């Protein structure tokens, strides 16, 4: 009988196996399948991705816990890759955060990151952010840690204080969050490699770098991040942005060219889709069931 390995344990093993671990954003279940096919070890569900892709809304705290949980269940239902989930500020304080953590574990997530912004939160690479007090964020972390019924499930603390309070204060916050029980730190809005090094030196837990596009952080390589002690590099919406541009190109081509033929070469072939979804396995099962039903109907008619 094979050993059951929890999602949290798989995530921790991935961090140990690949330094830095590249964690790619998957906005839906099919993207999770594609990330696994490409060879990635861990995936991510962005709150912005849920808001943008599933609801057509901006990332301003408009979507709910249940909105995100539904996507978590869909992704973990088809992919064995450990899933890190963006839970913003936790959807509430004590009881709300505890409920969020318990339901994320139940839905199959491997880890969550909880941030120190005020509610409603803003995108980490936009202006006019505000953060709660250090003690309030420490309380959020303690509640999240205490709510776990799976010790392998990882609680990551995200700090947005670099933009609002400066480097020294942000690093101090990160160290305090680790004391409160956070098992990894997400430093948001970092603008240079030396800053990552200062965060890494101040904490004894894995550090995550957010390598989002069109934001404040330059396009550093994973090798550059490794030199600064970064343990994880996050690419939250890279595929989604590429998919969105490709979709717009297809829609415009169909409208103006009167046919999709000019862009067919850029499309995923039907056979590749079928292969990834194991379509023919399902179809063969359906054929067997249909044949059995026809045979049973014939016997009853005798």
Is 59 designated active site? yes
Is 44 designated active site? yes
Q: Is 212 annotated as a binding-site member?
A: yes
Is 31 designated active site? no
Q: Is 2 annotated as a binding-site member?
A: no
Is 123 designated active site? yes
Q: Is 86 annotated as a binding-site member?
A: yes
Q: Which of 40, 103, 148, 210 is catalytic?
A: 210
Q: Is 52 annotated as a binding-site member?
A: no
Q: Is 88 annotated as a binding-site member?
A: yes
DSSP string, the chain: -PPP--HHHHHHHHHHHSSSEEEEE-SSHHHHHHHHHHT-SEEEE-HHHIIIIIH---SSS-S-HHHHHHHHHHHHTT--S-EEEE-TT-SSSHHHHHHHHHHHHHHT-SEEEEE-BPSSP--TTSSS--B--HHHHHHHHHHHHHH-S-TTSEEEEEE-HHHHH-HHHHHHHHHHHHHTT-SEEEE-S--SHHHHHHHHHH-SS-EEEE--TTSSS----HHHHHHTT--EEEESSHHHHHHHHHHHHHHHHHHHHSSSGGGGGGSPPHHHHHHHHTHHHHHHHHHHHHHHHHHHHHHHT-
Q: Is 188 annotated as a binding-site member?
A: yes
Q: Which of 113, 140, 148, 173 is catalytic?
A: 113
Q: Is 270 annotated as a binding-site member?
A: yes
Q: Is 158 annotated as a binding-site member?
A: yes
Is 210 designated active site? yes
Q: Which of 65, 123, 125, 126 is catalytic?
A: 123
Is 188 designated active site? yes
Q: Is 48 annotated as a binding-site member?
A: yes
Q: Is 210 annotated as a binding-site member?
A: yes
Q: Which of 12, 31, 44, 52 is catalytic?
A: 44
Q: Is 187 annotated as a binding-site member?
A: no
Is 115 designated active site? yes
User: Which segments are annotated as binding site for substrate?
Assistant: 46-48, 123-124, 158, 188, 210-212, 241, 270
Going by the annotation, the residues of the binding site for Mg(2+) are: 86, 88
Would you list which residues are annotated within the binding site? 46-48, 86, 88, 123-124, 158, 188, 210-212, 241, 270
Q: Which residues carry out catalysis?
A: 44, 59, 86, 88, 113, 115, 123, 158, 188, 210
């Amino acid at each position: 009988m094979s050993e059951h390995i929890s999602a949290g344990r798989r995530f921790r093993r991935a961090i140990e196996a690949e330094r830095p671990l590249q964690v790619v954003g998957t906005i839906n279940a099919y993207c999770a399948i594609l990330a696994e096919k490409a060879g990635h070890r861990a995936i991510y569900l962005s709150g912005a991705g849920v808001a943008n892709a599933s609801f057509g809304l901006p990332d301003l705290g408009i979507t709910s816990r249940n909105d995100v949980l539904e996507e978590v269940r869909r992704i973990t239902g088809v992919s064995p890759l450990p899933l890190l989930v963006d839970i913003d500020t936790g959807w509430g304080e004590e009881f709300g955060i505890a409920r969020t953590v318990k339901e994320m574990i139940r839905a199959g997530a491997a880890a969550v990151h909880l941030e120190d912004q005020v509610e409603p939160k803003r995108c980490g690479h936009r202006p006019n952010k505000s953060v709660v007090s250090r003690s309030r964020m420490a309380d959020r972390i303690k509640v999240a840690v205490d709510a776990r019924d799976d010790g392998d499930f990882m609680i990551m603390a995200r700090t947005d204080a670099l933009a609002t309070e400066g480097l020294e204060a942000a690093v101090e916050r990160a160290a305090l969050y680790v004391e409160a029980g956070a098992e990894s730190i997400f430093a948001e809005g970092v603008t240079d490699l030396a800053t990552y090094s200062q965060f890494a030196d101040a904490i004894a837990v894995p550090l995550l770098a957010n390598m989002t596009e069109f934001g404040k952080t330059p396009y550093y390589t994973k090798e550059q991040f490794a030199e600064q002690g970064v343990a994880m590099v996050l690419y939250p919406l890279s595929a989604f942005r590429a998919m969105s541009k490709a979709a717009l190109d297809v829609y415009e081509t169909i409208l103006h060219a009167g046919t999709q033929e000019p862009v067919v070469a850029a499309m995923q072939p039907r056979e590749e889709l079928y292969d990834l979804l194991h379509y023919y396995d399902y179809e063969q099962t359906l054929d067997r069931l249909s044949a059995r039903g026809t045979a049973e109907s014939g016997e009853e008619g005798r």
